[in-house]
Each structure stands twice: as structure tokens, then as C-alpha cells.
Amino acid sequence: MYISEEQVRAVLGYEALIPAIRQALIEYSPGSVVQPARTILRAGNAEGEDNGWFAVMPVIADGEMAVKTVTFFPGNAAEGLPTHMATIVLLNRATGQPLAVMDGRLITEMRTAAVSAVALEALAPPGAASLGILGSGVQARAHIEALRLARPALGDVRIWSRNPAHAERLAAAAGARAVSIEEAAAADVVLTVTSSPRPVLRGCWLSPQALVLAVGAVGAHLRELDDDAVLGCWLAAESRLGVETESGDVVLSGAQVCAELGEILAGKIAAPARRRILFKSVGMAVEDLAAARLVWQAYRSGTT
């Protein structure tokens, strides 16, 4: 069975995805999930920042196995194509039987935002009412929907982009405000979803109890945050292995991960109160599996 992006969109919603991602993160941290580090190959299609990559992400969890192939080609934006594209194969763990092949672009988009929503629920300071977003692309849009569902009190949404017209357009569509980067960074919750290879968020702009959700800049030599922003925070991650090998914000600053989000959710480690927290995510195959399982279950049960 092949499930297209349109079919995925018809059955996958954040109301079910966020709890599924939360459970996947809880199961990942104690080692219940078999998930090797992803394999990444450079495409060699262009020089510099437009050089794309191809990654393979296998995982075994509960009754299923899955593998996602995902590509990132920054130059696609100029051609009107998605910069990220993906395919997920879901298999039965007991027999190895393929269950479904599905488009993974939307799943990648939504599970990334769902991970941030889980982190928001677990780590946001009490009374957080403002959300500052650095970036105005696909992930910015997805995160607005997911984070508002997780925390309806985030009524003040501020958007900054290196392209002011894009910030204005997203703000108008989302009922938000296009603001300066300093105003966005001063929010209670700050989300970074840019494609910048160099730091855009400075720690001196952050409030003392800010929660920073750092999603962009996946790559050991890429950064969205300066040293002050990273080292001035208590650092949580979806995966120690993932961020310590794939996050330039962590690798280049020398920061140490204090806890995985799954450990916090399971009550193994408590996040500190009344201090600045940084949550860094780079994406994991078990998150793709959790989303693909929901899509497969919907089609198998005939609820579409």
C-alpha cells in the first residue's frame, strides 16, 4: 500500500500525534527503542550551502520496524520545490512483512513540531504567554499550530525573518505580529526554525526564564544560537547522541546535555525552575515511526 501526502494529511492530526510522540520519547530514553545513528551522505550536487544531503533512518520499536529516507536540498526553494522530501517504509516486526510505504515529507514536518509541543508542555515557565519565532518557513507554520494546541495561552505570537515580507505574510495568516529579532527573542518561549548556517539568536536578548526551542541548524557545523544563548541555559535534548553529534549549537559551544526529554517526562530528572532552558532537537526515526503508525492504523481500520 502506498499512502500519499494528501492521504497522510487526511488522517494525521496533532491531537493524536503529540501524545504519541510523548510516549515515543519516554520509551526511547531507557533504551527500549533500537535506533542507530542516521547515515548521512552528501549529494555533491552543488557547492557550499546548496550542497544537498541524503539520510537513512532505521528504527525498531514495539511491534513495528521502519526506515525513512530523507533528503535536504536548500536550493530547491528557488525552484518552488520542498527543501525536505522523505519516504517511510513501515514493516511488521514479527514477520518483516512490509505494511505500507508512505510519503514522509508531511510526517517529518508534523512530528518535528509535535516534539517541540511536548517540550513546551514539559518545560515552559508557568504563565508563559508570548511566543517569539525566528523563521517564517514551513516549520514556523507547523509549530504555530502545534504549540498553540499545546499551550493555548500563547496569545502573543511574534515573528521575525531575514525576509521581512515573509514574516509579514506569515503573521497576517496566523494572527501574529511581525517584529524585530530583539522583540521576538525577548518572548517567554523562543522558537528558532531558520536555515541560517550562522548564529541569529544572541543570548543577551533572552529573558531570564525563557524556554528556547531550537529546531533548525541540523549539522555539526551549523548554528542558530551564539555561545551565550547555549551556555547560559540548562540544556535538554530529545537524544544525547543525536545533539552531541549532529547539532553545531551543542558541538561548537562545548555545551553538555543535562537531560533527555524522555527522562524528564518519565520523572527520572527534574528540569530546574526559574531559570533559562534550551531544548535542542535534531529529529529521530522513532518519531517518524510513531507518526507512521498512526497513519497506518487509520487506514487499516477504515476510519478514513
Is residue 148 included in any domain, yes or no?
A: yes
Is residue 130 located within the same domain as residue 259? Answer: yes
The residues, ordered by sequence, that sit 6+ positions from 301 with a Cβ below 8 Å of its Cβ are: none
Name residues whose C-beta falls within 8 Å of residue 132's C-beta, 6 or more positions apart in sequence. 158, 159, 160, 179, 183, 184, 185, 186, 187, 189, 190, 191
Is 37 inside any structural domain? yes
Given this model, what pLDDT does residue 303 score? 59
pTM: 0.95
pLDDT at residue 304 in the model = 55
On whether both 178 and 274 belong to a single domain, the answer is yes
* pLDDT score at 301: 85
Q: Is residue 118 part of a domain?
A: no
Residues 131 and 266 in one domain: yes
Please report whether residue 120 resides in a domain: no
Residue 195 in grid coordinates: 536555515
Q: Hunting for cell 521576538 — which residue is that? A: 184
Residues 83 and 136 occupy one common structural domain: no
Q: How many other β-carbons are positioned within 10 Å of the β-carbon of residue 166?
A: 16
Alpha carbon distance 131, 184 (integer Å): 7
Q: Indicate the residue type of 63.
A: G
| 133 and 253 housed in the same domain | yes
Q: Can you give the pLDDT at residue 125?
A: 92
CA distances from 303 to 103, 181, 296 (A): 19, 44, 11
For position 207, which CATH number holds? 3.40.50.720
Q: Where are the alpha helices (DSSP H) in the chain?
A: 5-11, 14-28, 105-123, 138-150, 164-174, 181-185, 227-231, 240-246, 248-251, 261-265, 285-300
Length of the chain: 304
In a domain, 112, yes or no: no
C-alpha to C-alpha distances, 21 to 202, 243, 251, 288, nearest whole angstrom: 30, 18, 25, 9
Domain annotation covers residue 229: yes
Question: Residues in the chain with pLDDT < 50?
Answer: none
| 188 and 165 in a common domain | yes
Is 242 inside a domain boundary? yes
Pairwise CA distance, residues 126 & 124, whole Å: 6
Are 165 and 77 in a shared domain?
Answer: no
Which cell is 69 given?
529516507
- Domain membership of residue 116 (yes or no) is no
Residues 61 and 145 in one domain: no
Claim to verify: residue 135 and residue 189 sit in the same structural domain = yes
Amino acid at 35: Q
Distance between CA 3 and CA 205 in Å, rounded?
Answer: 44
- Tell me the helices (H) and strands (E) count for the chain, helix number first: 11, 14
Same domain, 278 and 132: yes
Mode of pairing for the β-strands spanning 84-92 and 98-103: antiparallel
Cα–Cα distance between 91 and 289 in angstroms, integer? 10
Domain count within the chain? 2
Domain containing residue 187? 125-283
Whether residue 142 is found in the same domain as residue 180: yes
**240 lies in the same domain as 141:** yes
